Structures are given as C-alpha cells and as structure tokens.
Chains A and B, each alone.
Chain A
C-alpha cells in the first residue's frame, strides 16, 4: 500500500512526512470532532459530581436521620415532601444530575471498552433510550404526583397524608 495519506500531511507545509503512506488505517482519526462537546462533558462530570455529594447526603440525612428516621418513610412521607416546592426542586435536580452524570459515565466506559463501532452504537442506543425514559418518567412523577388518592366512593385512602383531609373536606 503506497497510497498517499492526506491525514499524515503536515498542516503548516502541505508536505507528507516520511513513510507516512503506511500508517495502519485503524489508527487514523478520520473525522476531527467539531465543537467542544467532550470538554463540556468533562467539566460537567466534575461540577455535577461535587453538586451530587451535597444533594445526596442532604437527601439521605433528611430521609433517614431526622425525626423518626427510617421508620417514617411511607407514601405519606414522600407525598409530604413533594408538596413542598423546595423538595420538588431538590429531587428534580438530583434526578437530572445523577442521570446525566451516570449516563455520561456509562458513555465513557462504552467508548473505552467497545472495540467495534457497531457494538458502540448498539450499547449507546440502549443507554440513551433507558436514560431518556427514566428522566422523563421521573420528572413527570415529581410534577404530576397526586398525594390525595381516593377510592371509587370518593373516600380518601388510608395511607394518604394528613393534609389531604382538609383539602378534600
């Protein structure tokens, strides 16, 4: 193979480097990436990682340590938290950051370990689909959550939080 190789051309001079016709094509970077997606992805991992440490530990603290601790967690407890816009925002941020952080980490692992482009494409398709479904579903739940569920007769279910009684009556 002595075909000339435009990838090996020195940009400043337009001349080919010696012996450059015989670089194994597997090593040639055929399409230089546009934009700086990888830079922002890298930066996002650092920033979201630091934010998640705070978000997750405060979440664990309020759920497991404050008040009755682990014994207080039931439908009513979750409903009570999501009645508060602060916790809605907190959980939404946590959901989005954790999902994007995790998905980007998985994307990186796929890039590092998958050797064939077809394997890469397949694995990434599954990853992106799963991540999108979970993010959308989670966001919907946080915003459309109905704490005061009633039975067919219109009576509150027994595990509904206490504030529902005033709302229904």
Chain B
C-alpha cells in the first residue's frame, strides 16, 4: 500500500513516539507470586506456593493468578466474575492489604519482592483464596437492605431532591466484596460483629428520605455486636476498593442512634 493513497487521519488523542517501539513498549518484568494455599482434601494445614512469572506493565494481580491457573497449576482456586472492579468477587489480601485483585496493577506493587496473596481474614477458608461468605451475607440480610415504604406505591417513581439523594450517595457505591469487614480487627476476634459492610448498607437506607424503616435498622445496629463495637481504626476505609468513607458512615449511624435515644 503506497502512502500517497492514504487519507489524512484525524489527529490522534494519544501521542505515539515517532521512533522506538512507541505504544508497543509495554514494560515487562518478572515477578514472584506467593499464594497461601489451602485444600482440606490434600493437606490438613495451609501451605505456600511460589511461582516465577513474566508479566507486563498493564497486568493486574488477577492476570498473574489467571496465568498460574491457566498455564501452570489448574488447582489454584479463586473467585472472580467481572474482573473489572464491579462484581466484588475477588477481594483478597495482597501484600497484607485487602484489595481487589482485578484493580491492583502489578507495577504499583514492589516487584522486587514476592507478591504475597492470601484469602481475606476472619471468614472460614474453603479452598485457597475462596472463603465462605455466608456469615458476611447473614449480617447484610439482618439490616434489611431493601426499600421499606409504608405509603401506597405511586404510579411513577418516588421522587427525591438532589440534596436528599446526595445524603447517602457515598454508601450506594458498595459492591459487597467484604474487603472492609475482613480487614476489621474486631470482626477477626469472633465474627460476631455486624461488620462495616452491613452498617454501610444500613446507612444507605437509614438516610434515604424515601425509606420508612430507618428506626428498625437503627434498633438492629444498637445491638451489643452492632455499631458500638467499632473502634474507629479506619482499616475499613483504607480497604474499601470503592473509596467509601466507611468509618464516617459508621459514626453517622452512631450519631443517629444517640440522637434518637436522647
């Protein structure tokens, strides 16, 4: 194809280098992936596996796990569904911090040391990185995470002012990945605490002007295992992959319970 016949293309929004490899020059590096494995059918105790992998600057921890599972060891088990930070399936403990494997770029971690991946803490491990999420969802169910409105359903939407909507906007972002609850040292102790995620989702309805059951939810969270077990260590706020101000939401629920009682 001669260049003379090519039409002038519109200016690209991406600047590609004139010389060199341009966009093709994706950083390439070798990482050590260290995963805490557990399989009650193979061994009673958990063990650590390490793999050397050649990965690229665009790869995430999830890509490294995929590479192991698809090319090296098919027995490695983990949850993932959408792989794009929305479904909340692949929360795990990466280098000691709870994050989503699909949102953590390898190049943002220290690749000179092994990248340590474990299951989230505080919930029973079923296999490798898969934990039993039932206790987590049990607490979620108990705060009644659905709209309760006693007035007859209107023929159209229930309207709400932008200010009323903004009141609980932050807590609508929760994807139920359990990164917050499983980063909470109080939850680690005995698993009795409702946990940040349940409180965040209660907050989403308590402060919704269209909902009538705020008092019922405040009563549920006024339990000895409810909001009062929060020690404001901010682990949850740091862990949240959606950037929800979790500790702030918990404090707002505490304030609401006190305001209602006084």
Q: Tell me the A residues contacting B by CB distance below 8 Å.
A: 7-8, 10-12, 17, 19-20, 22-24, 26-29, 32-33, 36-39, 41-43, 108, 111-115
Contacts and interface: CB of A to CB of B under 8 A. Distances in A.
Contacts of B138: 7-8, 17, 20, 23, 27-28
Interface of B: 124, 132, 134-135, 137-138, 141, 144, 148, 185-186, 189-192, 222-226, 228-229, 231, 254, 257-258, 261
Contact of B261 (A19, A28, A36): A36
Contacts, number: 69
A29 B192 CA distance: 6
Given A32-B223, A38-B228, A43 B258 contact: yes
Contacts of A108: 231
Given A12-B144, A19-B134, A24-B135, 8 more contacts: A23-B138, A24-B132, A27-B191, A28-B138, A36-B222, A36-B257, A37-B224, A112-B189
Nearest to A26: B191
Contact of A33 (B132, B135, B224, B254): B224
B253 to A, nearest CB: 11
A23 B134 contact: yes
Contacts of B134: 19-20, 22-24, 27
A115 B226 contact: no
Contacts of B261: 36, 39
14 contacts: A7-B138, A17-B138, A24-B135, A24-B191, A27-B191, A33-B225, A38-B226, A38-B229, A39-B257, A39-B261, A111-B229, A112-B185, A112-B231, A113-B189
Contacts of B254: 42
